[in-house]
Amino acid sequence: MFLRDKAEVFPVRASAAGFAVCGLLASMAALPSSVHAHGETVRGGGAGGINTVGAIVTPGILSGGLRLEVRQFDAFSEEMLLGYALEGEDVHQHAQELSGTLTASYALDASWCLNAALQVNAFRDFREATLDGPGVARVVRDDLSGGIGDLLLLTRVRPWHDDSHHVAILAGLKLPTGSTRETDDEGARQGAHNQPGSGSIDFQLGLAYSLVVDWFEIDADVVGHVRTEGAMSYQAGNMLQADVALSATVWQLTLVAELNFLVAERDVERDEVLRNSGITTLYASPGVVARLTSEHVLFASFSYPIYQDLPGIQNNELFRANLGYAFSAEVSRSHDGERRPTHDPFHPQDDHPPDRHPDHGHAHDGPPHDEHGRHLDVRYDEPAHEEPAHEESPVDETSDAPQPE
């Protein structure tokens, strides 16, 4: 995400997460959230990009983070909603979406990273007009609703890289852990489009690329989302996204400029294609990453839709803004190849660990000695064996033979 192994690329960054990350946020680390507020992707994770998934994988880094996002929409008036309902149009809206995402990631080795993201989603000022009879319509309201969202598991495999270029394969699985039982102000169950979770098992597959040259970095990704039928026989449309991020590090700050593109098919509800759904949007997303220490960063991003094509009757998105925190903990490799935390007192990480006395277990400045100051040749994987002492023959004081000195 934003923290990177200091020895790998540039001293200003160390590896982490986003929220999340391997190389964001954890993270994570970013893949844009779903068109229907079911935020379902680890965001960030390459390095410089805040909304872009890069290909950097730094082994031995455990990372995590928290990301907060707000999306603001241009709302229809209630009179307009009533008019749409009387015309037979199924139109609904919420003025604002809020989400908080917990991310975690771990790089198993130099080519394989695992990410996880879990969201809490909330919706403000939901409005929908329904017909109570011929020519009679009313507005259904819900001022605030929300709950636990879906869980995404994402893996990044980096099959090739050199000193500057990195290429990775992305594969994700979204599990229906989110709530789908939220109700409106009248106690009726909300539609699937206004639930914190989707109730579906979805899949992701894509490619990511990163170029790192000193203080400058380019991250890019292309990811396909395959959605299945979820709660209330609702299936969100399949989606393709593409992102590119340019970032430059100056002292403790990384300045980020991104383009984020989304195109999604229309949704299907009870085998009927919803004509007021689907999306094609291009966002311009400037951002900044501030390094507090080599293990802790803050980041912020503002996304403005410079192009929107919304089929049918849909309210435009005005903007989305993100604010987050990410941290990392380095896990190093011991002499026998096993990774251990660097603070592990039982497996020191220096090249020549101090010898340990087989009996007392404490460290000495040199090889262990016996009580006479003689060096002991001790193997630590076997119990020490001392040679039995040689007994001297008794001296016969009555003998006339000369006695040895």
- In a shared domain, residues 327 and 245: yes
- In a shared domain, residues 107 and 209: yes
- In a shared domain, residues 252 and 103: yes
- In a shared domain, residues 153 and 219: yes
Which pLDDT tens digits describe the chain residue by residue (405 residues)? 444 433 333 333 333 333 333 344 334 433 434 344 444 444 554 456 899 999 998 888 899 999 999 999 999 999 999 999 999 998 989 999 999 999 999 999 989 999 999 999 999 999 999 998 888 999 999 999 999 999 999 999 999 999 899 999 999 999 999 999 999 888 889 888 889 999 999 999 999 999 999 899 999 999 999 999 999 999 999 999 999 999 999 989 999 999 999 999 999 999 999 999 999 999 999 999 999 998 999 999 999 999 999 999 999 999 999 999 999 988 755 433 434 343 333 333 333 334 333 333 333 344 444 444 444 444 444 444 455 555 555 555 444 545 554
Choose the final residue of a domain: 319, 341, 363.
341
DSSP bridge pairs for 67: 101, 324
Token digits for 392? Answer: 């001297």
CA distance 233 to 138: 25
The secondary element (H helix, E strand) that includes residue 79 is helix 78-86
Q: What is the pLDDT of residues 198-235, one digit of tens each?
A: 999 999 999 999 999 989 999 999 999 999 999 999 99
- In a shared domain, residues 262 and 365: no
Q: Which of 221, 196, 204, 262 is nearest to 30 (CA)?
A: 221
Determine, yes or no, domain membership for 4.
no
Q: Say which CATH number the domain at 154 has.
A: 2.40.160.40
Are the beta carbons of 311 and 266 closer than 8 angstroms? yes
Tally of CB atoms within 10 A around 365 = 6
Mind giving me the DSSP string for 311-351? -SS-PPEEEEEEEEEEEEEEEEE-TTS-EEETT-TTS--SS
Q: Which of 15, 59, 57 is nearest to 326 (CA)?
A: 15
Tally of CB atoms within 10 A around 130 = 15
CA distance 173 to 158: 18
Determine, yes or no, domain membership for 193.
yes
Determine, yes or no, domain membership for 103.
yes
In this structure, what is the dihedral angle of CA atoms 19, 25, 31, 34, given to the nearest 10 degrees? -10
- In a shared domain, residues 225 and 99: yes
Determine, yes or no, domain membership for 8.
no
Percentage with pLDDT > 90 across the chain: 61
Q: Which of 20, 195, 218 is nearest to 106 (CA)?
A: 20
- In a shared domain, residues 361 and 298: no
Determine, yes or no, domain membership for 225.
yes
Tally of CB atoms within 10 A around 94 = 22
CA distance 370 to 291: 52
Determine, yes or no, domain membership for 315.
yes
Domain count, the chain: 2
- In a shared domain, residues 224 and 371: no
Are the beta carbons of 7 and 14 closer than 8 angstroms? no
- In a shared domain, residues 305 and 240: yes
- In a shared domain, residues 363 and 296: no
Determine, yes or no, domain membership for 75.
no
The domain of 377 spans 354-389
- In a shared domain, residues 183 and 308: yes
- 3-state class of 191 per DSSP? coil
Whole-number pLDDT of residue 389:
53
Integer distance in angstroms from the first to the last C-alpha of the chain?
79
CA distance 75 to 346: 60
Determine, yes or no, domain membership for 24.
no
Task: Give how far the C-alpha of residue 290 lies from the chain's centroid of Cα atoms, to the nearest Å.
Answer: 18
* Distant-in-sequence, close-in-space partners of 127: CB < 8 Å, separation ≥ 6: 75, 76, 78, 81, 92, 93, 94, 139, 140, 141
- In a shared domain, residues 337 and 210: yes
